[in-house]
Amino acid sequence: MKKLIALLILITGFCSAQTQNITHTFNFYTEYHQFYLEDKEAKMDSNSNEFWTDEAFEARFATEQGIIAVGTYCYGNIKGEITVLQNPVKDIDYSLYDHVVEGGINISSGELLIMDCPTSTVELTIKVTPGKYRVRVYGSNFKSVAETDLANESDNDYYKIEIWPDDDMERKVLKQFSYR
């Protein structure tokens, strides 16, 4: 009986550990106002005319099968965090962010890569259960960017990313940043 109770406690602890939200931080140099979230096995070319469409530029979010490009406000060092959730955050204070957009990605390999542009250096690898995910990107502190076409040490824009299992692949802007 004691062994059964110990086994149940072990299983319960393991299951609850698997459902906790996990956050990773990132800080790296990227160019061309973008960085990538990509399934490890994605074979898509981000130079495709179908990738950075006018709509994608405006949304700051380009997407194709297995890859998302996040449009950044600065050119250079970017900072942020990515959290793997079980369910989406419902109560969002949009006043904290300059731009909020979401869309979907299929992570068939079970590994999500965060990569810079243009060298596609892997900055972070996150293991997830293979499947379809919703990705929400919150951009903030855009006013700190001194010049959008030059890297400056004072640039302090920040990208908070949340992902959770979901079949919805459609891009949707929840708060649009105005360039003016």
Q: Provide the pLDDT for residue 22.
A: 92
Class of domain 21-175: mainly beta
List, for residues 140-171, the tens digit of each pLDDT value.
Answer: 999 888 888 778 777 889 999 999 999 999 99
Say if residue 106's pLDDT is above 70: yes
Query: Where would I find the beta strands (DSSP E) of 48-157?
Result: 61-64, 67-71, 76-84, 99-107, 111-115, 122-127, 131-140
What average pLDDT does range 39-65 have in this prediction? 89
| Spatial distance between the Cα atoms of 1 and 26, rounded to a whole number of angstroms | 47
Average pLDDT, the chain: 88
CB atoms within 10 A of CB 6: 10
User: pLDDT band for position 15 (50/70/90)?
Assistant: very low
Is the pTM of the predicted complex or chain greater than 0.75?
Answer: yes
What average pLDDT does range 50-75 have in this prediction? 94
Q: Where are the domains of the chain?
A: 21-175
Q: Provide the pLDDT for residue 8.
A: 44
- Exposed e or buried b per residue across 148-171, where buried means at least 16 C-beta atoms within 10 angstroms of its C-beta: eeeeeeebbbbbbbbbbbeeeeeb
| Spatial distance between the Cα atoms of 31 and 21, rounded to a whole number of angstroms | 30
Instruction: Give the whole-number percent of the chain exceeding pLDDT 70.
Output: 88
Q: Provide the pLDDT for residue 9.
A: 45
| Spatial distance between the Cα atoms of 73 and 145, rounded to a whole number of angstroms | 7
What average pLDDT does range 91-105 have in this prediction? 97
